[in-house]
Amino acid sequence: KEQPSVCQDCSVGCNVDVFSQRDQILRLTARENLDVNGYFMCDIGRYGFHRYEEIERVTQPMVRNGESFDILNWDKAIEKTADLIKKSNDKTAGIVSPFHTNESNYLMGLMMKDTLGLLPRITGDEITYPSGFRISADRSPNLRGVHDISGKLAEDFSSKIKTKEICGLYILDDGIDRELDDIWKDILENMDFVIVQSYTITELTKLAHIVLPGLAPYEREGTITNDQGRIQWLRPSLPIKGNSKPDWEILMLVRNALYKESEQFVDLGEVIKKMGDQFPKYAGVTLFKIGTHGISLNGKNI
């Protein structure tokens, strides 16, 4: 199968074609987009998909039982998650992720209102070639989108957690590239509860009380906004594994369990519409209009 999509290994968002067979990526090739990457892509993006091949996947909801986890069905997992958040009396904070789509981050923001933050950025070297082709130091694909649709994010979130007496965290996991520093390990170990939405066993899931299985890169669908303010369509190439669910859907189910009157979105398009109602920059955006080459949101006229 050949699928037009977007590289997720830095904030440039090069356009790519993803070639896959059943549940395996075979190769990525650059796809022409003169507004983003010309005709090029770099080797970080070209070969980056191999690092997802040997990982330990999370494909069932799980709840901590001592040193290990018990498997739960989805109804129980959503109920337990909502119960923990409810019982914390507004003392749960959400952590959004620049590795996730705009829609998932937006729904986390809707649920957690103004108690929202980010983990430290994941960065590498910024490289610009003589041709002008650039690899961004920001090795996440959607930091700009997260800031666009999360309202005001706390600058120094680790300090804010202490001053607001937060006792629980609901985290959208960045995935296999996330490492935790001592400050964050200490914060997580001292929480009453930590809910982590992830596709794999990471330092975060190891410290979680509830793990909700979302989708991995190349399985996800949604929009991401590159560092030049261009919104692009991330399309899935691989089938969903086990009992995992799309991340936006998990967040919607938890929100529905918390707030009985909240919307039940039937698809991504409805989430994008709601996002546009709240954030004018994203008004009028649809997957159809984004198409294969994206839309610049700078002074846009959609």
User: What is the contact mask toward ligand SF4 in residues 119 to 158, using x (rule: CB under 6 A)?
Assistant: ----------------x-----------------------
Whole-angstrom distance, CA of residue 283 vs CA of residue 281? 6
In the complex with ligand SF4, the residue whose CB is nearer, 45 or 217, is 45
Q: In angstroms, give the least distance from the CB of 142 to ligand SF4.
A: 11
State how far the Cα of 110 lies from the Cα of 106, in Å rounded to an integer: 6
Shortest Å distance, C-beta 50 to ligand SF4:
14
- Asked if 7 interacts with ligand SF4 (CB under 6 A), we say yes
- As measured in angstroms, the least distance from the Cβ of 30 to ligand SF4 is 7
Shortest Cβ contact with ligand SF4: which residue? Answer: 45
Secondary structure E strands in 38-118: 62-65, 68-71, 92-95, 116-117
Q: Is 231 in the site for ligand SF4 (CB under 6 A)?
A: no
Contact region with ligand SF4 (CB under 6 A), list: 7-15, 86-94, 148-156, 286-294? 7-15
Whole-number minimum distance, CB 289 to ligand SF4, in Å? 22
Q: Long-range CB contacts (< 8 A, 24+ apart) of 110-116?
A: 110/255, 110/262, 111/170, 111/251, 111/254, 111/255, 111/258, 112/170, 114/151, 114/152, 115/90, 115/164, 115/166, 116/150, 116/151, 116/153, 116/154
Q: What residue type is 214 in one-letter code?
A: G
Of 38-67, binders to ligand SF4 (CB under 6 A) are: 41-42, 44-45
User: Closer to ligand SF4 at the Cβ: 18 or 42?
Assistant: 42
Shortest separation between residue 55's beta carbon and ligand SF4, angstroms: 19
- Contact positions vs ligand SF4 (CB under 6 A): 7, 9-10, 12-14, 37, 41-42, 44-45, 135
